């Protein structure tokens, strides 16, 4: 039996006066999936996240969240948590008091005490639990916002730029939490401008531009649909590698070698099949490959390729 999607949107349109923020959006997010939302500023990401959180109602179209149709009233079904435009925290309360007040609001006795400690521990804020939120950095605020969302044991978690301001340790905590939630069946929809985060976390992405979807689907599909990418190639023998690359069909070598971390790097442009061919040639000729990575991530390249024409056409 098919499990219903956590989010099912069809033909969602939302306008603010003359401005069309969302124009006929279709979106599906499966349970247990981390779904990335990408788009340039003003693309409609925050508006879409706001609809999922029940902060606004669509002008037209249908939206089902956690198998519950969402009407015009400003409310989201139980099981939805998250934040847009940064978490809402009360600076005069400590981290623990912020969570305790929220737990008391929800009436979840279970969420109090141990639940709060657990949420703080998951996001790595146990040591500052007694500190007022007023003194928190942006990254700490993001993590506390995530802890607040965790308290409600969400089945759909909606996060707007959750990686903003995170240091490596904070990022590790947040990624760990999101991955574990997804493994437990929670659907996560997050927006970010950090493509590396999205590539590390998301199984599917949706790219928005000027209120419309220009791509939605798995990252692998995005890479396959995309045009050629530039790859940085570090080998044990740059001269031989250049010669082999020049001789490989559909592989284009950049004019001059680039310095990369103290070594001579080759930049080649190719589709994935041609790149596979090049790697096979290099190995066959005894050239060791020390690094092969896209100069610009596939998602970022796709994002730029798909959104720039739309932005230019504005």
Partner 1 sequence: MTATATAPAAPAAAGPPRVSVARGYRFEVVKLVSQWRVRLVVLACWLAPALFVAAVSQQSTLPSDTLFGRWMHATGWAGSLVILGFSGTWALPLLTSLVAGDVFAAEDRLGTWRHLLVAVRSPRRIFAAKALASLTVILLLVVGLAASSIVGGLLAVGNHPLVGLDGHLLAPSDAAGKVLMAWACVLAPTLALAAIGLLGSVALGRSPMGLLLPALVALAMQLAQMLPLPVAVRLALPGYAFISWSGLFTDPGQLRPLAVGVAVSLVWAVVATALAYAVFVRRDFTNASYDGHGRRAVTVGVLPLAALLGATVAGVAVATPSMHSGIEQDKVQRSVAVAFAHLYRMQTDELNRPAVTEAQLRVSAACNKGGGQRTAEGAGNDWRCVVSWHLPGVRAVGSAVYQLDITSDGRFVADGDGPKEVNGYFLVRTPNGDAPNPLWQFDGNVELLDTTPKG
Nearer to partner 1, 11 or 238 (CB): 11
- Minimum distance, C-beta of residue 115 to partner 1, in the bound complex (Å): 15
Lateral strand order in the sheet of 19-29: 19-29, 7-16, 60-65, 68-69
Q: State how far the alpha carbon of 58 is from the alpha carbons of 30, 97, 282, in Å.
A: 21, 34, 55
Among 96, 87, 136, which residue's Cα sits nearest to residue 116? 96
**Residue from 3, 4, 10, 110 in contact with partner 1 (CB under 8 A):** 10
Residue with tokens 């100069």: 295
87 part of the interface to partner 1, by CB under 8 A: yes
Applying CB under 8 A, does 156 fall inside the site for partner 1?
no
Q: Are 274 and 248 in contact, with CB atoms under 8 Å apart?
A: yes
Instruction: Show the site string, 89-128: x = touches partner 1 by CB under 8 A, - = not.
Output: xxxxx---x---xx-xxxx---------------------
d(CA 183, CA 34): 10
Nearer to partner 1, 80 or 150 (CB): 80
Q: For the chain, first and last CA: distance in Å?
A: 44
Minimum gap (Å) between residue 104 Cβ and partner 1: 6
Q: Is 18 in the site for partner 1 (CB under 8 A)?
A: no
Residue whose CB is less far from partner 1, 68 or 203: 68
Nearer to partner 1, 108 or 294 (CB): 108
The reply to whether 16 sits near partner 1 by the rule CB under 8 A is yes
Residue 192's contacts (CB-CB under 8 Å, 6 or more residues apart) are 36, 37, 38, 161, 162, 163, 198
Binding status of residue 82 toward partner 1 by CB under 8 A: yes
For partner 1, the binding residue among 3, 4, 19, 60 (CB under 8 A) is 60
Binding positions for partner 1, rule: CB under 8 A: 10-11, 16, 46-47, 50, 53-63, 68-93, 97, 101-102, 104-107, 145, 148
């Amino acid at each position: 039996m098919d499990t219903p999607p956590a989010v099912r949107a069809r033909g969602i349109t939302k306008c603010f006066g003359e401005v069309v923020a969302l124009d006929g959006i279709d979106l599906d997010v499966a349970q247990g999936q981390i779904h990335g939302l990408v788009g340039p500023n003003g693309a409609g990401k925050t508006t879409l996240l706001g609809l999922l959180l029940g902060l606004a109602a669509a002008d037209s179209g249908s939206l089902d969240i956690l198998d519950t149709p969402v009407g015009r009233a400003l409310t989201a079904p139980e099981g939805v948590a998250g934040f847009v435009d940064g978490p809402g925290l009360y600076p005069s309360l400590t981290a623990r008091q912020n969570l305790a007040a929220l737990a008391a609001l929800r009436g979840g006795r279970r969420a109090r005490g141990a639940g709060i400690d657990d949420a703080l521990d998951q996001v790595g804020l146990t040591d500052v639990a007694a500190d007022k939120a007023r003194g928190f950095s942006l990254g700490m605020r993001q993590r506390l916002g995530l802890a607040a969302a965790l308290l409600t044991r969400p089945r759909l978690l909606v996060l707007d730029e959750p990686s903003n301001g995170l240091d490596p340790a904070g990022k590790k905590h947040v990624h760990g939490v999101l991955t574990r939630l997804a493994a437990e069946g929670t659907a996560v929809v997050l927006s970010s401008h950090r493509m590396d985060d999205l590539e590390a976390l998301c199984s599917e992405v949706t790219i928005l531009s000027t209120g419309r979807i220009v791509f939605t689907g798995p990252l692998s599909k995005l890479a396959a649909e995309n045009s050629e990418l530039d790859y940085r190639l570090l080998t044990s023998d740059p001269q031989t590698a250049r010669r082999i690359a020049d001789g490989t069909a559909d592989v284009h070598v950049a004019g001059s070698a680039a310095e990369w971390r103290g070594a001579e790097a080759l930049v080649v442009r190719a589709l994935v099949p041609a790149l596979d061919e090049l790697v096979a040639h290099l190995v066959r000729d005894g050239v060791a490959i020390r690094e092969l990575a896209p100069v610009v991530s596939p998602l970022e390249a796709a994002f730029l390729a798909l959104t720039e024409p739309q932005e230019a056409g504005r």
